[in-house]
Structure 1
Amino acid sequence: MRLPLTDMTSPAISKPAAVAEPIVSATNSRSHTQLARLGTIARWTLAVLACLWLSLCTAVGPLYWDFETGTIAHWNWANTAIFIGSFVIYLGIIVILVRLAKIGRILPAKLSKRWSAADQRFFASAGSVESTADSATAAKSEAGNPKGKIRFRISPHLIVSSVARALLFCNRWIVRGTNRFWKLLLVFFIGWLWIPTTLLAAFGADVRSQIREFSWAWNQWTGLKQPYIGFFSFVPMDIYPTAHYMWPSNPTYLTDQHNIVLTLIYGATASFSRYVTGSNDAGIVVLAALQMLFAVFCCAATAHRFLNRPWMNATAAADSATPQQAGGLARFLILLFFMVCPLAVFSTISLTKSPLFAFAFVWWFGIWYELTQTWKPSVKLPRHSFIAFIVSTSVMLISAKYAWYIIALQIVLAIIADRRRWATYVAALLIPTVLIHGGIAYAISSNMIIGGDPIESRGVQLQMIARVAQRNPDGISDEAMKNLSPVFNKDQMADAYSQQDADPVKSSGIQAKKVSYKWRTVTPDDMANFNKAWLDIVKDNPVIAFDALMAKCFGYFNVTDQPYVSMGYYVSSDYVQKNSVWIKSYNHDWREHIAAFAKSWGLIPVLGWPTHGNFYVVLTLLFGAAEVIRRRWLTLMTHIPLLLLMGVMITAPANNFERHMLPVAFVFGFVVLTYWRESRAELAKATDHR
């Protein structure tokens, strides 16, 4: 009998469909696996590139420590050995971090279990009593002691239990002493109180230039006639020279060289101090004390956010894979850094722009942590945190010119990652940037102030040209010389060149200086040809140009390199110890002793590394590479500013200038704590899925 059409066709239709579904699924699975592998390869490639860069900077150190003849052309087997050894160490650290995040341990399974068991027994002994044998021995001792003398028997168990009790006691009281914002505020204030009271202030040439600028502007406002543009005149704008073509026709003595807002604040304070006391010193001391108080507030606020996570309620804390509050060890190490590391200690009273930016950045960084922690479910930022977000952004903008680049990128990344809170980012990031940066740009375009010279941002190019002019002057072609000569004097560049610092090449300094930069006569058209000259010179002298680049920035990524200018410099600089009016007489020897102690500590191999900024820069880069491998994109979004700050270091005028590394160093402890917490959370999530 013939089957109906439907009966005949149904099996023919359904059978291929049933077979096609697993085929498509298998194809999609293979495609997904291939993409996952490509992603893994790409992430590890980035980590390897970071290790290669760090290894290169470490290996070239011995070459460029020879300031006279050092060059990459002298690379030998010793440098190769350093390179390979450094690469193995750096990559090993990343592998350890990734392994710790993936399986929760570093040691092999058996050793890890033994270590965990020993750790548990150690702290369990804190609540235990002595063994029965010890008790029996004690009883016998008492029985055999008719005079009733007490005999103490020290046993290994008693020692272990006593140490465990002491550690638990310290842990408990460290947590109790830092579990509130006001407690942390007191800790930072008391811990840093000795700095402004015994050292008063620390500063260099920058604050003196800001005071000088404001004084000249004040004289102009009060009707005093002063020199302006002229070949024989020398005004504040000629010290850190700003090209004369940028000067308005009407005399203007305020510049954005050292950030105009800070110039006004510092200059007005010093002027009032001179009016009341007859010198700038009292005003400088007040400014240093105010900066210390600002540092106390910023560090306490951020420490409170990271250590205590106050936004977590009881339910959220119970659901979290890690305790709401950090343990005593994390608190102790973070506070220890801020209390004893010269980077943090000296920065509290150093009036050099960068410390102010660094402390504002610490405050800003803590608010980003709160935002990422409340990302899901999306929680509205509390009013006090919202205000703090605005203020910290504003302080960053007025203290560092490059801050607006960092904030602009963060606006884009934040809105992409967290669109639901776009209004928060617009109000706290975009509006302050438009008002402050836009206001300064308007003041410059309106000839109210003089903008910064574009030559300031070309430190890498200047060092390359100057090194070629010094090492191979005949290597500069006639065409390049034609484009360069209206801007720079080649012979003076060669004479002024120092591989550690581009400022001498820019003719920065007082009147007795090398006039390599022709700031009095250069024009915008001349500057347009400067890039052509630089490109031609680099093409003709690639090895020397590479030497100039590496010699100018390798120290930021080499933990064995000593700082070119440490934060201790500002404590005992001649501006403080010789040129001040009465600050120099206050604890003069103590100031020298503290700076010398910090320097001698930093010279100790390995033990001195934590006193230098490059130690934290290197480790932060390694932790960032581990975060990339673990695909922690939201956390990486908040850590991108740290990478941008490393870019600022490379383009900065000087090599291994510690003040440029302060923001990275200050938040490093919080970066480590975040990595540990997220690793624990990932492990807990993986366990739940099993």
Structure 2
Amino acid sequence: MNTVWNVLRWILAALACLWLALCTAVGPIYRADGSIADFSWGNAAIGIVAFAAYLGLVVGLARLSRGGWNIPKVVRSKGAAGGKLRGFLARHEPAIVHATDRTWKLVAVFIIGWLWCYVTLLSAFGADLFSQIREFTSFWEQAHGNPQTYLDGTGVVNTIMDVYPTAHYLWPADPTFLTNQHNILLTLLYGGVAFASRSLTGAVDAGIILLSGLQFAFAAFCCAATANRFLNMPFLRHDASGSAGASLPSARHTAAGSPRQGEPTEPMKNNPNISTAEAALPRPASATTRIVVLALLLLNPIVVTSTIALTKSPLFAFAFVWWFGVLYEIHATKAFAGAAADGPDAVPVPARTVVALAVSTLVMLASAKYALYIVALQLVLALLADRRRWRTWAVALLIPLIAFQGMLTALTATNTIINGDGIESKGIQLQQIGRIAQRDPGSIPQGAREEIAPIVDLDAAAQAYFPQDADRMKSSGSAEDKLIAYKWQTVTADDMTRFNDAWMQIVKASPVVAIDALLAECYGYFDVTDVPYVSAIYYMDNGVIKANAPFIGGWLGGWRDAVAWVFNGWSHIPVLGWPVHGNFWTILVLVVGAAEVVLRRWRALAFHLPMLLLMGVMITAPANNFDRHMLPLVFVFAFLALWFRRDAKTDMRRLC
């Protein structure tokens, strides 16, 4: 039976590597706007090399974990530079550890390290922000006696619900201008602050700068709180008697002869002043690890520019970092207690930790619609992996989930807001319909044409189809310059019930083109050689900023353009530019997950599988290789790697 499970684990890991290899192999095809039918021996060779590389990484991680982990050690070089670096770290390790051993100190590190971005760029955003401002402004004016255009009896309208089309059958009879298109709480916050700014100063710039400043501070807090949990493990504490009974030994224990923070744990084994339980526990991170982790967050343009970007995804991603750190604390207290000789099987979760998990959950739910599925999955997995703490999961995950979803249901049921259009979740299906209408129209059955006609104009779809972006198929954009592919103005609820059947007929009639549409819209998320279709850097320098916020756009002259030019130039350098792409970190997360499957780290996987669901969100997202959908994985990778490394050390202690 063990042999069967071993085989199944390796099959799962191999399938993950095979998916990465396939996306890498077809990349040249879809960048040339080709078809899977063009797959050649050259593409096969690329796929084989990629598969071998990714599987080799999984095997290497598994072997390192089983044989003991002694990295990262960036100072192993025996050259002069390596020796100087080793000497520098040896001399300054206590200072480095001391400067990063509290959350407030780490907050200061992040604020200082990122401050140049906020001070010199002020804010970063795209068209979505001004859609939210327009929604709130229309709502406010309508509510204060200034009627806004809604329906004029002819169906000719020009509201925000037409720019990001929401089918008219979803509109209530009484005018309302708030939608859940961009998450209602963010729309109220962003739109309200911008509206107040315009009322007080005559422009939205001051309000936008304030919003970016608030997000900047929130980002620093989230990264600092999680860095403190991973680097310093403050949750490992003594109880009143000094033993590891009801709680775990302190990471800052300073009994005679015990090592300082960051020092190796090996000397503890023969130290009579250290209990067996404490000797089995990991110590705070070394100076080298701290420098690596902080560098990944302070120097990567994806992270830096996201601190001030008001595009909803960064807010979700920073809240996810905080959430991830709290989950690590809850997981680690149980895992380390099990590793300790006299440790308990379960350790109570402090109230402040439960509150942190609940608040981070609520911020995630408020900032991204797909957070609903992330939280729901984590709730199920947590109950399976750690059912003794069911009260923690109920209070911090279940109650926020029910409360938030209940609020949305009540607001839509009372016509206070307009719910999002279901078409938003049909991006892949729309892309398949559009590609087939464009490249194989003769295959579409007459019955399918008749069923889809009230929903999608196939002729317009054929013109609007673009391989990497489904927004055109959803008729997104201003009314004067878009083709009407999705007939949001006239479609009915009854018409939409036939969408899936019509789509299935169309796909069955041209399966190869349908596969092309799917792969063309998602391969870039898993092809390390692919440059982002829309990078995170885009939001710091685009036409929307200069046209709608002239003070922000003109601040410090051409500095914004210069920074964008440098970052984009770095991004387009082969290989060296990979770390500036979200897909590089997404791929590494998937490789680490595959290694955890091989190593049977089921409890750790119970807290990491939501990241796999995030990859599913990428695949169904409206655009290919869109950096902002990968931000959560970019931000947490350093902590995931440290979690993986620490679990490896725990495994070795158990074996010893």
TM-score normalised according to structure 2 size:
0.90
Q: Distance in 1 between matches of 2:149 and 2:556?
A: 39
368-377 vs 268-277, greater mean Cα deviation:
368-377
Relative to structure 1, is the Cα distance of residues 320 and 435 closer, same or farther in structure 2, using a 3 angstrom cutoff?
Answer: farther
How far does residue 277 in structure 1 lie from its aligned partner after superposition?
0.3
Q: What's the offset of the Cα at 1:170?
A: 4.0
Give the CA deviation at 1:56. Answer: 0.1
Correspondence 1:369 to 2:328: yes
Separation of aligned partners in 1, 2:81 and 2:349:
49
408 and 188 in structure 1: CA distance in 2 versus 1, 3 angstrom threshold: same
Q: Answer yes or no: is the 8 Å Cα contact 1:202–1:346 preserved in 2.
A: yes
Question: Where do 1:345-356 residues align within 5 Å?
Answer: 345-356=304-315
Aligned residue identity for 2:185: V
Partner of 1:128: none
Per-residue CA shift, 1:438-470, capped at 9, x if unaligned? 111221122111000000000010000100011
**TM-score, normalization: structure 1?**
0.86
CA distance in 2 between counterparts of 1:336 and 1:235 reads: 45
Give the 3 Å change call, closer, same or farther, for CA 255–326 of structure 1 in structure 2. same
How many residue pairs match? The answer is: 608
2:69–2:645 Cα contact (<8 Å) kept: no
1:204 maps to 2:121: no
Aligned partner letter, 2:177: Y
Residue 292 of structure 2 corresponds to: 333
Contact 2:89–2:287 at 8 Å: present in 1 too?
A: no
1:488 to 453, 456, 477: 456
Cα deviation for residue 380 of structure 1 reads 2.1
What residue in structure 2 maps to residue 142 of structure 1?
Answer: none
Cα distance between partner residues in 1 of 2:494 and 2:181: 22
The reply on whether 1:277 has 2:201 as its aligned counterpart is: yes
Q: Which residue of 2 aligns with 1:635?
A: 604
**Structure 1 residue 337: deviation in Å?**
1.4
Asked if 1:302 is matched to 2:196, the reply is no
* Counterpart for residue 28 of structure 2: 62
Query: 2:279 & 2:416 partners in 1: Cα distance?
Result: 54
Per-residue CA distance 1:448-507 (angstroms, 9 max, x = gap): 110000000000100001000111111111011011110011111111111111001100
Contact 1:279 1:581 in 2 (8 A): no
- Give 1:171 deviation, angstroms: 3.5
Aligned partners of 2:311, 2:595: CA distance in 1, in Å?
33
Q: Is residue 180–residue 420 contact of structure 2 (8 Å, CA) maintained in 1?
A: yes
Q: Secondary structure of the equivalent of 2:548?
A: coil
C-alpha contact (below 8 Å) 2:69/2:649 kept by paired residues: no
- CA distance in 2 between counterparts of 1:460 and 1:160 reads 50
**Matching residue's letter, 1:310:** P
Percent identical pairs in the alignment equals 51
Q: CA deviation at 1:231?
A: 2.4
Cα displacement (A) at 1:162: 5.2
DSSP 3-state at the match of 2:456: coil
SS at match of 2:645: helix
Q: Match for residue 132 of structure 1?
A: none
1:312–1:324 contact (8 Å) kept in structure 2: no
Match of 1:324 in 2: 283
Contact 1:459 1:653 in 2 (8 A): yes
Give the Cα separation in 1 of the matches to 2:89 and 2:475: 57
Give the Cα separation in 1 of the matches to 2:81 and 2:416: 72
- Pairing 1:566–2:490 present: no
- Cα separation, partners in 2 of 1:164 and 1:245, compared to 1, 3 Å: closer
- Is 1:99–1:106's contact at 8 Å kept on the other side of the alignment? no
Partner of 1:91: 55
1:613 aligns with 582
Distance 2:370 2:82 in 1: 53
**Distance change >3 Å, CA 410–CA 320, structure 1 → 2:** farther
Kept in 1: contact 2:76–2:82 (CA 8 A): no
For 1:102, which of 66, 88, 104 is the aligned residue? 66
Residue of 170, 173, 180 corresponding to 1:256: 180
What are structure 2's unaligned runs of at least 5 residues? 239-243, 252-273, 338-343
**In 1: Cα distance, 2:179 partner to 2:150 partner:** 14
The whole-number CA distance in structure 2 between the counterparts of 1:495 and 1:582 is: 38
Q: Report if the CA contact (8 A) 1:620-1:664 is conserved.
A: yes
**Residue aligning to 2:318:** 359
1:535–1:106 Cα change, 3 Å? farther
| Residues 152-231 of structure 1 mapped to structure 2, 5 A cutoff | 164-229=86-151, 230-231=154-155
Instruction: Say whether the 8 Å CA contact 1:291–1:348 is kept in structure 2.
Output: yes
Matched, 1:510 2:478: yes
Which one of the candidate residues 365, 370, 376 is aligned to 1:402? 370
1:602-654 CA-to-partner distances (Å, cap 9, x unmatched) read 11111111111100111110100110111111110110110010000000000
The 2-side partners of 1:102 and 1:177 are apart by: 33
Displacement of 1:326 after TM fit?
0.9
Provide the secondary structure at the position in 2 that maps to 1:252: coil
Mapped to 1, the partners of 2:516 and 2:592 lie a distance apart of 28
Question: Contact conserved, 2:317 with 2:632, CA < 8 A, in 1?
Answer: yes
| Structure 1 residue 448 corresponds to structure 2 residue 416 | yes
How large is the Cα RMSD of the aligned pairs? 1.9
Please name the residue that 2:468 is paired with: 500
Q: What displacement does 1:338 show?
A: 1.2
1:397-476 matches, within 5 Å, as 397-476=365-444
**What is the aligned partner in structure 1 of residue 267 from structure 2?**
none
Larger radius of gyration: 1
Name the structure 2 match of 1:79: 43
Distance 1:673 1:584 in 2: 39
**CA 105–636 in structure 1, closer or farther in 2 if over 3 Å, else same:** closer
Structure 2 CA distance for partners of 1:632 and 1:159, relative to 1, 3 Å: closer
Whichever residue aligns with residue 294 of structure 1, its letter is F
Looking at structure 2, the residues matched to 679 and 420 of structure 1 have their Cα atoms a distance apart, in angstroms, of: 24
Is contact 1:320-1:681 (8 Å) kept?
Answer: no
Instruction: From 620, 623, 628, give the equivalent of 1:651.
Output: 620
Partner of 2:264: none
One-letter identity of the residue aligned with 1:348: T
d(CA) in 1 for partners of 2:84 and 2:620? 54
Per the TM alignment, residue 106 of structure 1 is displaced from its structure 2 partner at its CA by 10
One-letter amino acid of the counterpart of residue 650, structure 2: A
Distance in 2 between the 1:295 and 1:313 partners?
27
Match for 1:453: what amino acid? D
| Residue 36 (1) aligns with residue 2 (2) | yes
Displacement after TM superposition at 1:379 (Å):
2.1
CA distance in 2, matches of 1:398, 1:160: 47
| Contact 2:134/2:160, CA 8 A, preserved across alignment | yes
- Greater CA deviation, 292-301 or 602-611? 602-611
**Residue deviations 1:136-164 (CA, integer Å, cap 9, x gap):** xxxxxxxxxxxxxxxxxxxx9x9986554
Q: Decide which moves more: 234-243 or 176-185.
A: 176-185
